[in-house]
Structure formats: structure tokens, C-alpha cells
């Protein structure tokens, strides 16, 4: 079993200093990589910039932007049996990146933002016989939005969590299947939830 895990945030730069990002810590993804390694799986980690040490024994790839995460993930997915996409990628990026530093003038600045590559949708579209587990971070209508995300991105399963999970050590999640049914609900530390998820997958998808 060889599994791709995406983790952490991405950054999208406005200029050489300022960027858009989010507070994703990478803890969930790194814990999943550790849980997979403990089961003897080959784990491939594509991570945005976080302050965690990559788990010993994983194949590690560091990225900054969503485009870099897309390129690394698409390339590595071909050699994997499945993907668990925990990364909180920037969905938007500035249309243009300014060289140097935008100077202050006292006036408001209009920033045009365009959508970034949809990494999960692209992996879903290319999955063939591979399995795809997405993560959904939903504030409103969580179950409906998570299920829509699962279908739009051709996932087999989606793990629903709340924005309060960002950066936290613990989490409370629902594992939702393609029929919209909640397969499992887990609460606890991200380490505990990761072990549950990996053991669940080991029984079902291997």
C-alpha cells in the first residue's frame, strides 16, 4: 500500500513579502502519515510550509503554492494506491504577483483574485482504480456541502470537519461516503483520529 497525503496550507504571494494563506498547521496530515507508517504502508507526504518535522520514514516533498502542490501531487499520485487530501490549499491567488513590495499610498488597493488549481478535483478526475479521501472544512450546511464536494471532486470518501479544527490538536470529524451516509464519527486528538481513519481504510479499501 502506497498512499499520498497532502498537508498544511499553501501560500499565494501578492508581492515578494505579502501572501494569502490560512492557519492550517499540518497536524492532521502528519498524524495520518505517522499512522500509515505504523501499519507498514509507504507514505508520500506533500506538504505546504508548516512547523512540523516530517515523520521519519515517509517520502517528503515540500511545496509553497497551490500550483506547486498540484504539480507534485499529480506526479506522485500515479505511483500511489490512494490519496488522503488534508491540505488546506489557498483557493484564490492574486491575478498578478508584484515584484518587490507594493508601496503604501494611503489609498485603498483593489486586489483581483482568481481561483487556483483544484488539486483534489484533478486527483479525483485522474483516479481510475485509486481511491480518494478528501477533507472538507465547512462552516455552513456542513453535511450538504461536504457531500457536494465529494461528488464534484469524484472522491470515494470525505472527512467533514469544522473551521475550528484549524491549528488545533484535537478534532471532531465525520467520515461520509458517496451515498451521503456517515460511516463513522470520531472525536479526539488528531493522532487518535488518524489511527482510526487509517485502520478503517485498511479494512475497507486495501
Which spans of this chain sit near a second copy (rule: CB under 8 A)? 11, 14, 16-23, 49, 51, 88, 90-92, 95, 100-102, 104, 106, 108-115, 137-140, 163, 166
Q: How far is the CB of 106 from a second copy (least distance, A)?
A: 7
Which residues are catalytic, by number? 22
Q: How far is the CB of 180 from a second copy (least distance, A)?
A: 20
Nearer to a second copy, 151 or 204 (CB): 151
C-alpha cell at 18: 505579502
Distance CA 36, CA 18 (A): 35
Nearer to a second copy, 2 or 97 (CB): 97
> What 3 state SS string does 37-94 have?
HHCCCEEEEEECCCCCCCCCCCEEEECCCHHHHHHHHHHHHCCCCEEEECCECCCEEE
Given a contact cutoff of 8 angstroms between Cβ atoms, the answer to whether 80 and 44 are in contact is: yes
Q: How far is the CB of 51 from a second copy (least distance, A)?
A: 4
Nearer to a second copy, 96 or 183 (CB): 96
Q: How far is the CB of 37 from a second copy (least distance, A)?
A: 24
Cell 484549524, located at residue:
166
Interior/surface letters 87-113, b for 16+ CB within 10 angstroms, e for the rest = bbbbeebbeeeeeeeeeeeeeeeeeee
Nearer to a second copy, 101 or 204 (CB): 101
Amino acid at each position: 500500500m502506497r498512499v499520498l497525503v497532502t498537508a498544511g496550507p499553501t501560500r499565494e504571494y501578492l508581492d515578494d513579502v505579502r501572501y494569502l494563506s490560512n492557519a492550517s498547521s499540518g497536524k492532521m496530515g502528519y498524524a495520518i502519515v505517522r499512522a500509515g507508517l505504523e501499519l507498514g504502508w509507504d507514505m508520500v507526504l506533500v506538504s505546504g510550509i508548516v512547523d512540523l518535522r516530517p515523520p521519519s520514514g515517509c517520502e517528503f516533498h515540500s511545496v509553497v503554492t497551490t500550483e506547486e502542490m498540484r504539480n507534485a501531487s499529480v506526479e506522485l499520485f500515479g505511483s500511489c494506491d490512494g490519496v488522503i487530501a488534508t491540505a488546506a490549499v489557498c483557493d484564490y491567488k492574486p491575478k498578478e504577483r508584484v515584484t518587490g513590495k507594493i508601496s503604501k499610498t494611503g489609498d485603498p488597493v483593489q486586489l483581483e483574485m482568481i481561483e487556483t488549481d483544484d488539486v483534489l478535483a484533478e486527483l479525483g478526475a485522474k483516479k481510475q482504480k485509486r481511491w480518494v479521501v478528501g477533507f472538507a472544512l465547512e462552516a455552513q450546511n456542513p453535511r450538504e456541502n461536504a457531500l457536494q464536494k465529494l461528488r464534484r471532486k469524484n472522491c470515494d470518501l470525505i472527512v467533514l470537519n469544522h473551521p475550528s479544527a484549524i491549528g488545533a490538536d484535537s478534532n471532531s470529524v465525520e467520515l461520509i461516503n458517496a451515498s451521503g451516509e456517515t460511516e463513522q464519527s470520531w472525536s479526539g486528538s488528531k493522532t487518535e483520529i488518524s489511527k482510526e481513519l487509517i485502520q478503517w481504510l485498511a479494512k475497507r479499501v486495501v
